[in-house]
Structure 1
Amino acid sequence: MHPNFDLEPAATALEAVVGAIADDHLTASTPCTDTSVRDLLAHVVGLTEAFRQAATKEAVGRSVPPAVGPQSDLPADWRFRIPAQLKALVESWRDPAAWDGETEAGGVTAPAVVMAAIALDEIVIHTWDLARATGQQPDVDPAHLAILLEFLRDTPPEGTPGMFGPVIQVPDTAPLLDRIVGLTGRDPAWSR
C-alpha cells in the first residue's frame, strides 16, 4: 500500500521543540496530568521506537504498554536519541509495506493504517504538550491537523481509557489544533 501521509513534518516539529528544552524545564508540569517534561520526554523516547517497530512489524507479538511517569527513566542522551529515533520512525513509515496488514505498538494490535494515525497523533499531541509546558509555539502541518480531526472525530465524551481523558468541549470556530487538543482530553487554554 502507498503511504497515506508522511510523518516528517510532525517529526521535525517535535525535534524543534525538544531541541529548545532546557535542563530547568525538566521538572515543569505538562498538560498531561501528573506528568513532568522529563516524564513526557521519557515517553517520547519509548514511543518513537515503538512506532518505528510497528512500521517494520518487528514489534508484533512482543510490544508492551508504555510506562509514563516518574518510574520512566530518561536516558542521558535524550537530546540526541529523540531526533535520531524520529528520523528512523519517519523512514520506516515511508516503506509501502509498513502500511499493509496489522501491526502492534504499546500492546495494542491494529491495522497498520490506523497505527500510523496513532503515531501521528502521539507525535503532534506530545509536541503541543511539550511546547506548551516550555513556553514554545508548536509548528503543526495543516494537512496533519485535518488527518487528526478525522481520526479523533468520534472520540467518546468520556475519552478513551489508556489514551485520552474526557473530551474538553471546544467551539467549532476555534483553531483546528485547539479542537484536536480538546478531543484528546486536554484544555487548549492550559498554561504553565
Structure 2
Amino acid sequence: MPNSALRLIPGAIDRFGARVHAVEGRQWNDATPCTEWTIRDLVNHLVGEHLWVPHLLAGETLEQVGDRYDGDVVGVDPVRAWDEAAERSLEAWDGADLSGTARFSFGEAPLTVYADQMLVDLTVHEWDLARASGQDESLDPAAVGNCLVYARANAERVAGLGIFAAPVPTASTDPAVQLLSMLGRTV
C-alpha cells in the first residue's frame, strides 16, 4: 500500500497554494505564528522546501544540490514562485518510489519519513498562513490525522530538532488543535 502521506501531498500542495493566492499585496510583511517569519518568509520557506523535492526524490545528495535554494527564492513575485515550485514538486511526487532513503540535514532517513515531514510542513504552515492572513483556518481532516500520527510517534525527535516551537498544552479533543498545539501553535 502506498504511503498515505504521498497520497495526501497533492491536495496539501493545492490547499497551501490556494492560501498563497489569497494573500493580499499589503499582507506579505505581516507576522505569522512562526515568530521569526512574515508571510513572505513563510512562503519563501515552503518554496525552498518544494524546490528541493525533485532533487531528493531523484537521489541527489545535499552536496549535489548545494546552496542554490538558500536565501530569497521568491523574488518579487511570491505567488509565481510558489506556483512554479509546487508544479515541480507535484511532478516529482507523482508516482515517486519511496522505498529508498535520502540524506537530510538531520541525517539519513527513509523517503516515507520525508513524505510524512513534507505533509506536516504543508499542513501546519497552511494554518500559519491562514491565521496570519485572516483566511479560514480549517484544515483537511485526513491530512491532520496523518500528521498527528506522525507527530505523536516522533514527538521527542521533532522537539530535539528545534524546528517547531515548544508544545502548547491543550485539553481540546479536536485533532487539528492537538496537532497545532503539539507543534507549538496557540489556537
Determine if the TM-score, normalized by the shorter chain, exceeds 0.5. Answer: yes
3-state SS of the aligned residue for 1:58?
coil
1 CA distance for matches of 2:81 and 2:43?
11
Q: Is the 8 A contact 1:152 1:180 kept in 2?
A: yes
Q: 1:82 matched to which residue of 2?
A: 82
- The unaligned stretches of length 5 or more in structure 2 are none
Structure 1 counterpart SS, 2:37: coil
User: Structure 1 or 2: larger helix share?
Assistant: 2
Per-residue deviation, 1:51: 2.7
The TM-score normalised by the length of structure 2 is 0.84
The CA distance in 2 between the partners of 1:76 and 1:59, in whole Å, is: 29
* 1:1-80 equivalence runs, <5 A: 2-4=2-4, 5-6=6-7, 7-62=9-64, 72=72, 74-80=74-80
Higher mean alpha-carbon deviation, 126-135 vs 32-41, is at 32-41
Asked whether the equivalents of residues 48 and 89 of structure 1 are also in contact (C-alpha less than 8 Å), the reply is: yes
Aligned residues: 183
Distance in 2, matches of 1:104 and 1:132, equals 33
Task: Give distance in 1, aligned partners of 2:104 and 2:89.
Answer: 13
Shifted more, 147-156 versus 55-64: the winner is 55-64
Q: Report the alpha carbon displacement of residue 15 of structure 1 after superposing the two structures with TM.
A: 0.6
For residues 96-135 of structure 1, the aligned pairs below 5 Å read 96-97=96-97, 99-106=98-105, 108-135=107-134
Q: Contact 2:47–2:86 (CA<8 Å) still a contact in 1?
A: no
CA distance, structure 2, for counterparts of residue 44 and residue 83 of structure 1: 11
Provide the C-alpha distance between the structure 1 equivalents of 2:54 and 2:2, rounded to a whole number of angstroms.
17
Does the aligned pair in 2 maintain the 1:104–1:115 contact within 8 Å? Answer: no
String of CA shifts for 1:29-68, please: whole Å, max 9, x gaps. Answer: 100012111211211210111233222223454456986x
CA distance in 1, matches of 2:81, 2:158: 35
Displacement of 1:158: 9.0
Distance in structure 2 (CA, Å) of the matches to 1:156 and 1:143: 23
The CA deviation at 1:137 is 1.3
Counterpart residue identity of residue 133, structure 1: A
Cα RMSD for the two superposed structures: 2.6
TM-score, normalised relative to structure 1:
0.82
CA distance in 2, matches of 1:74, 1:142: 29
> What is the identity, as a one-letter code, of the residue corresponding to 2:186?
D
Q: Per-residue deviation at 1:159?
A: 2.4
Is the 8 Å Cα contact of residues 168 and 185 (structure 1) preserved in structure 2? yes
- Counterpart of 1:85 in structure 2: which amino acid? A
1:64 and 1:171, CA in 2 relative to 1: closer, same or farther beyond 3 A? Answer: farther
Q: Secondary structure at the match of 2:109?
A: strand
Letter in 2 for 1:122: D
Question: 1: CA distance between counterparts of 2:103 and 2:53?
Answer: 8
What's the % identity of the aligned pairs?
24
